[in-house]
Chains A and B, each alone.
Chain A
């Protein structure tokens, strides 16, 4: 089935096809449209889920946490301040190893109030034990949401998954989406096996009781190993999905765009990667040997794949829609941590939804190539802020 849908509705369609049993959410722009659509589906009886209205995001995640612990397949969604309000529960969910799936329509964190996208909100949870995917298109937001259930519930993984989609740019933009029929999805995604445990009446137990310190450390190691395993599971699941449903979305952790023979590598994630591709195309025509590595997943971090890509180029440029105040861009510091001797330039841009065009990307990339060729890449230890309107 092919339909024109906006990103939020595509996510809701994926949740419906996953036959989710409990949904709880609190409205916040730009996420609201996702759960409004789901409320409609539940109301019309198209989705046999329990929809729990709550007074805050903290409670929304607590509701799906408890439901997931009792074996249900669950969903929630949020943005920005809502995600921050969930913060404590995010760690409870991940450290309890429950396969919760959450969509985050990314949005800048205030003040000042701003409803437009950057990636800082989603990246504030990068250490919490969630798998974090970033969609580039409406199609990918749909595919990633469905795949999230398969990955999270896999007994080799058992970690929650966050699907980030850029607020408005994906959440409110309509694009054609290929969607497999419900029956086909049901064959591929069976009902959830209640792992790693199931709370049920009459069989009481406690989750996460006080224990020796060593238990905490062992369980963190346990989660860490699961995230390492998740790399191959994500690969497996996305390849299998594409084979069955042929939606055309790239598979694995990293999309490699025109990297063959590339001497310079752009690295980005999220919706604006489409514009970076246009910049790469334009530069290729001008004779620049540039390629793009688009991170589909930030957690687990595609360390090995990026290292392989970085080792075969002269230099790389991270197009970073995030910043860690006091250091550099978040994606930039992650890439630098595994780049070995390859110089990496971190360019912070597009915060608060500031528009960055493909011409901007082209000039950023060209500038980096010129700097490297002039022997100036040793000065790339400090991030550069792309704010052409400030002189």
Chain B
């Protein structure tokens, strides 16, 4: 009574699987590794240049790292990836960011 488990293409199949793990399970750091997440957005953060004091707090807090800012300048939001979470609007000390319904 002996059962054989060894299909002849076992090694080939294993190498194919290994390649697939590396290709599909791993990802290199890149902008938007999960795709253009801006399409998830329901509310769009808009910075009022008149109110903004250029403190950079929104830049510091944005969980998606999609706000760019240099000291003493107006921050800029990358809408391709901004998910519209509203955190920036929440932390802005002078309420310079409005969350506007997307498409309006």
Residues of A within 8 A of B (CB): 96-97, 155-156, 158, 195-197, 204-211, 215, 218-219, 222, 225-226, 228-229, 231-232, 235, 256, 259, 304-305, 308-309
Task: Please give me the 10 A-B residue pairs with the lowest Cβ-Cβ distance, nearest first.
Answer: A232-B5, A156-B14, A210-B34, A209-B27, A231-B5, A196-B21, A232-B6, A222-B17, A215-B24, A206-B27
Q: Which residues of A contact B17 (CB under 8 A)?
A: 222, 225-226
Question: Known contacts A304-B3, A308-B1; is A218 also within 8 Å of B10 by CB?
Answer: no
Across the interface, B25 reaches (CB within 8 A) one of A155, A156, A207, A304, namely A207
**B3–A308 touching, CB < 8 Å:** yes
- Is B26 within 8 A of A205, CB to CB? yes
| Complex contact A219–B25 (CB within 8 A) | yes
Contact A155 B18 (CB under 8 A): yes
Cβ contacts under 8 Å, A222 to chain B: 17, 20-21
Q: State whether the Cβ of B72 lies closer than 8 Å to any Cβ in chain A.
A: no
A interface, over-half SS: mixed
B35: nearest chain-A partner, CB-CB: A210
Cβ contact within 8 Å between B27 and A232: no
**Residue of A at shortest CB range from B23?**
A215
Can you identify 16 A-B contacts, CB atoms within 8 angstroms?
A196-B18, A196-B22, A206-B29, A207-B26, A209-B27, A210-B33, A219-B20, A222-B20, A226-B14, A226-B17, A229-B13, A229-B14, A231-B5, A235-B5, A304-B5, A308-B3
Additional pairs, 6, CB under 8 Å, beyond known A156-B10, A206-B29: A205-B27, A208-B25, A226-B14, A229-B10, A229-B14, A235-B5
Known: A229-B14, A304-B3. A219 touches B21 (CB 8 A): yes
Whether A155 pairs with B5 at a CB distance below 8 angstroms is no
Please give, as numbers and ranges, the residues of chain B lying within 8 Å of A197 by CB-CB distance: 21-22, 25-26
A209 touches B5 (CB 8 A): no
Q: Which residues of B contact A259 (CB under 8 A)?
A: 1
Q: Are B14 and A155 in contact (CB under 8 A)?
A: yes
Q: For the complex, what is the distance from the CA of A7 to the CA of B23, rounded to whole Å?
A: 41
List the B side residues contacting A208 at CB < 8 Å. Answer: 25
Interface residues of B in 1-52 (CB under 8 A from A): 1, 3, 5-6, 10-11, 13-15, 17-18, 20-22, 24-29, 33-35
